[in-house]
Amino acid sequence: MTRTSKLSEGASLGDDMKLYRISQTINDGYDTYDSAIVAALTDDQAKEIHPSSLYGTVELIDDDSNMGCWAYSVDQVKCEYIGEAVEGTLKGVILASFNAG
């Protein structure tokens, strides 16, 4: 089952969101995500975000719903800090890279 967080759960509008590039190389074939740009308060929060999330919701990494399209745990996700997000940015996926087959 996919766990979903609504909008900016774990953050308030006064919080300063940061932008991160998350990536993984565990699942690298067709129909997989290799990376995404996400907004989160911390790198630990960023690594929990699944690239298939819609803006305004956050799909968290979950073994039961992953279906081999992303990393199986946060330990398999690389996270790189990009910079500060503009005011009002919600936690979640900004852009994702999906390798369609």
Looking at residue 39, its pLDDT comes to 95
With pLDDT > 70 as the criterion, what percentage of the chain qualifies?
72
Q: What DSSP letter does each residue of 18-87 carry, written as one string?
A: EEEEEE--SS-STTEEEEEEEEESSHHHHHHB-TTPPTTEEEBP-TTT-TTSS-SSGGG-EEEEEEEPPT
**Cβ contact 88:12 at 8 Å:** no
Is a pLDDT exceeding 50 seen at residue 5?
no
Rounded to 5°, angle at Cα 28 from 24 and 32: 85
When pLDDT is cut at 50, 70 and 90, the band that residue 3 belongs to is very low
Q: What is the pLDDT of residues 15-47, one digit of tens each?
A: 799 999 999 999 989 999 999 999 999 999 999
